[in-house]
Amino acid sequence: MAALNALDTMRALASKGEVLTVAQGELIFRSGETGDCMFGLLEGSVELSWNGEAGHEVIQVGDVFGAGALVTPDHRRYGNARALSDCKLLMMNREKFLFAVQESPMFAIELLGSIDQRLRQLKDCTRNL
């Protein structure tokens, strides 16, 4: 059996509920809010912005955002997340995330790869300023 990619794993988890539908332009979370879940983007696109909109990045299908909420006690959101188009989001609390990693250990590796790629792109952008 072929290994599932992160999007396939998120879709499998989504079949059991925990899916949030967000309309274009709607705020998903705001800087400073308490966060207790991360989001996996199943459909659409999301813009993350921070430092008063000075920094931003676009999240694509298959990527996750808000992961700090799973690893930091009493987590506060660092920036804003807004739907650029109609979106479907998988909401994963720590328990759901750990279940996904247990069921498909490659899920964690794929998410780390995705986050690493996004971080590299952000570093490249700031290098060019």
Q: Which residue range(s) make up the domain with 71?
A: 6-127
CA distance 6 to 80: 24
CA distance 45 to 85: 6
**DSSP 3-state of 121:** helix
- At 105, list the tokens: 């250990």
Residue 1 in domain: no
Average pLDDT, the chain: 85
Residues in the chain with pLDDT < 50?
1-3
Determine the pLDDT at residue 1. Answer: 31
Residue 115 in domain: yes
Residue 26 in domain: yes
DSSP string covering 27-78, please? EEE-TT-B--EEEEEEES-EEEEETTTTEEEEE-TT-EE-THHHHSTT-B--
Determine the pLDDT at residue 2. Answer: 37
Determine the pLDDT at residue 81. Answer: 96
Residue 13 in domain: yes
Determine the pLDDT at residue 123. Answer: 75
Determine the pLDDT at residue 129. Answer: 56
Burial class from Cβ neighbours inside 10 Å (0-12, 13-18, 19+) for residue 52 reads exposed
Residue 78 in domain: yes
Residue 91 in domain: yes
Q: Which of 38, 40, 45 is nearest to 63 (CA)?
A: 40
What is the model's pTM?
0.84
Q: What is the per-residue pLDDT across 49-71, written as a single tens digit (0 to 9) for each?
A: 988 767 888 999 988 899 888 88
Determine the pLDDT at residue 44. Answer: 97
- Split into its structural domains, the chain has a count of 1
Determine the pLDDT at residue 126. Answer: 65
CATH number at residue 59: 2.60.120.10
Determine the pLDDT at residue 97. Answer: 86
